[in-house]
Amino acid sequence: MLISYNWLKWYIPEAPDAEKFVDVFNYHLCEVESLEKKGDDNIFDLKILPNRAHDLLSHQGVARELASLLNIKYVDPAPKYKIPPPAPKAPAGQAELKIDVQSDKCRRYMGRIVKNIKIGTSPEWVIKHLESIGQRSINNVVDAANIVMFDCGQPAHAFDLDKIQGDIIVRNGKDGEEMTTLDNKEIKFKSSNMVISDDKNVLAIAGIKGGKIAEVDNNTKDIILEVANFNPTSVRKTAQALNIFTDARKRFENDLSPELGPHAMLELSALILEMCPEAIFENIVDVYPQKQEIRKLSFSVEKISKILGLDISVSQVEDILKRYNFEYTKTPSPDGHSPLAGGEEYVITVPPMRLDLVIEEDMAEEIGRIIGYDKVKGKIPKINFKTKVNETYAKISWARNKLLGEGYSEVMTYTFCNSGEVEVMQSASDKKFLRTNLTDGLKESLKLNQLNVPLLGMDEIKIFEIGTVFKKSGEEMNVAYGNKKEVKEMSLEEFCKSASPDAFAQEYPASQRHRSQKHTGGAFKMWSLFPFIARDIAVWVPEGVKSKDVEKIIKNNAGSLAIRGPELFDEFKKDDKISYAFRVVFQSFDRTLTDAEINAVMTQITNKIKENNGWQVR
């Protein structure tokens, strides 16, 4: 939100220098994203958060807040507005403005016919105000509506009366109904979109943007002023669906008080009168089916102090309530005079514009930010660091380390499958159910890992999984383990039956985890992240030559890239010769190997083998 310093000074003439405001904003209200010097003005870019957007997206709102915060005078502009004179009685038979609100999403709709206006250029001060916050002047009527929105926070709109056919109707749109916006965007409505229409056409998107049909232009003589209040959720949903972002939308979607309407209509009428002195104002038509209820909020000084972690005095609280013009009552303190007694309970009447004040904690935040969060000193709470045992986790840890100690490796298989007792929505066609056992996944994992046994240098694959299975009766934690011969599965509780009574008194100690690791193969060694290349070589040798003799030559010439092998995987005898087949696995820890590199190594091995009389590479 861009805020003009000169504009603020209209309402708080005692305001300090603009630079001093930066700390006031940052420490008590909101973040100042930038402060820019613009001619003789200073422009603040304030990051107004949603909880205060209903009253701070306006110059008057910010000015009121600063006046209360700094305890300086706030000049209320309302008494200075020139009230339009009463309109002469309409001639017999002349239709008066009629407003038909058909949607409960419209909480208040105020309309007023203004005749005999003259469209022209706005006064210099209006143009200067708008340009200071990045807005451009269009004409005096449109500018007046924009000034009202940026000044008091209430969006307003004007329709050309002569272009309207019949009554003003606030209703839901019709599927397929169309409208062209003021910026020439074609809109197609759905029944969930709220619109402003006449008896024939859609005139505007409620709370968001006006349409071309009733646009105010240089030929406009008579207008209808609109000041309305709409449901924030409805405005946001419609704007999102239509992909339209406007300043009006920003204010409505964060909620506005319907009680702001009369002030905005007064301000708008006064501006029109100032720029069009000959204008004739008819009476205001105000449709307000359900008035905003008066809200009360109670809190105690003692509770506020506890929430903030700061001793707040009665005098501090009452000073804040008076500066912010809160109407309040209070119960007597227990001792009748102590300023720190803390037992006083206050009941405030929440101002209509302060939609953020709902519960006692809101008032604590209000008092805390006004006093200053720098007054709240950091204090480390006393914490009992004794850990509480999570029995399920302790059993999982015990089961895991028991299986690791027995030479099993842990795996994690897929939870989703193509059949089961519990179905899930929006999933792949073959993954529509949650698993009912771990065994199926473990068997599949065994099958895949078994293919790599020769490469891994393992005699057999032994794996386990600890995980949740899903049945109609509920979820259950199971343990499954096994090798290619068999897989066993049972509940975690059953698996842990063999544990000693005090095994779960605390979670599995780190020292035991380390011992299990050593038992299963010693210190951890990182594996390469790059792919391996496996090569086989078969050699014919004379009868009597041992496989170890061939293996030695291959090993001595395989080089440092050989991480596994040579391993004998085939042997057979024919006539007076024996064939030995070996596999060598090559891998690098810093790069992906190429065929050319490995071919060179294999050529060297082949040449060395051929140097032995009677040896032949197949």
pLDDT reported for residue 90 = 57
469-508 pLDDT per residue, tens? 999 999 999 999 998 889 999 999 999 998 877 777 654 4
Which residue range forms the structural domain that includes residue 573? 533-617
pLDDT reported for residue 153 = 95
Q: Which of 216, 60, 43 is nearest to 134 (CA)?
A: 43
Domain check: are 443 and 563 in the same one? no
Cα-based angle 542, 548, 551 (whole degrees, multiple of 5): 95
Domain check: are 110 and 59 in the same one? no
Coil/strand/helix, residue 313 = coil
Domain check: are 550 and 514 in the same one? no
Domain check: are 315 and 450 in the same one? no
pLDDT reported for residue 427 = 81
Alpha carbon dihedral 489, 492, 495, 500, in 10-degree steps, equals: 170
Whole-Å CA distances, 299 to 316, 375, 523:
14, 21, 62
| Secondary structure, 3-state, 436-489 | CCCHHHHHHHHHHHHCCHHHHCCCCCCEEEEEEEEECCEEEEEEEEECCCCEEE
Residue 386 lies in a domain: no
Burial of 304 (0-12, 13-18, 19+ CB in 10 A): buried
Which CATH number is 57's domain given? 3.30.56.10
The token pair that represents 44 in the structure block: 């603040």
Determine phi and psi for 221, rounding to 5 degrees: -115, -35
Residue-by-residue DSSP string for 536-603:
EEEEEEETT--HHHHHHHHHHHS-TTEEEEEEEEEEEEETTEEEEEEEEEE--SSS---HHHHHHHHH
Domain check: are 142 and 228 in the same one? yes
| Residue carrying the six token digits 């807040």 | 65
Coil/strand/helix, residue 510 = helix
Q: Tell me the C-alpha distance between 237 and 67, whole Å.
A: 36
The number of folded domains in the chain is 5
For residue 193, the 8-state DSSP code is S
Domain check: are 567 and 541 in the same one? yes
Domain check: are 114 and 243 in the same one? yes
CB contact at 8 A, 236 and 253: yes
Q: Tell me the C-alpha distance between 345 and 333, whole Å.
A: 8
Cα atoms in the 13 Å half-sphere on the side-chain side of 186:
1
Distance of CA 95 to the CA centre of its chain: 51
Q: Tell me the C-alpha distance between 278 and 255, whole Å.
A: 36
Domain check: are 20 and 129 in the same one? no
Give the pTM.
0.64
Residue 184 lies in a domain: yes
Residue 87 lies in a domain: no
- Spans of the chain, pLDDT less than 70: 86-95, 332-343, 453-459, 505-525
Last residue of a domain, one of 519, 541, 559: 519
pLDDT reported for residue 455 = 61
The token pair that represents 564 in the structure block: 């596994």
| Residue carrying the six token digits 């309530």 | 321
pLDDT reported for residue 56 = 95
Domain check: are 117 and 243 in the same one? yes
CB contact at 8 A, 337 and 35: no
Residue 84 lies in a domain: no
Cis peptide leading into residue 566 (ω within 30°):
yes
Cα-based angle 56, 58, 63 (whole degrees, multiple of 5): 75
pLDDT reported for residue 399 = 94
Distance of CA 216 to the CA centre of its chain: 40
Last residue of a domain, one of 287, 316, 340: 287
Domain check: are 417 and 481 in the same one? yes
Helices and strands (H and E) in the chain: how many: 19, 29
- CB atoms < 10 A from the CB of 608, how many? 14
Residue 111 lies in a domain: yes
Domain check: are 142 and 275 in the same one? yes
Q: Which residues contact 216 (CB under 8 A, 6 or more apart)?
A: 119, 139, 141, 142, 158, 159, 160, 223
Last residue of a domain, one of 287, 307, 336: 287
Residue 201 lies in a domain: yes
For residue 499, the 8-state DSSP code is S
Residue 340 lies in a domain: yes
Cα-based angle 389, 393, 396 (whole degrees, multiple of 5): 135
Q: Tell me the C-alpha distance between 292 and 153, whole Å.
A: 18
Domain check: are 164 and 259 in the same one? yes
Which CATH number is 265's domain given? 3.50.40.10
Q: Tell me the C-alpha distance between 32 and 433, whole Å.
A: 52
Which CATH number is 514's domain given? 3.30.930.10
Residue 222 lies in a domain: yes
Q: Tell me the C-alpha distance between 211 and 246, whole Å.
A: 14
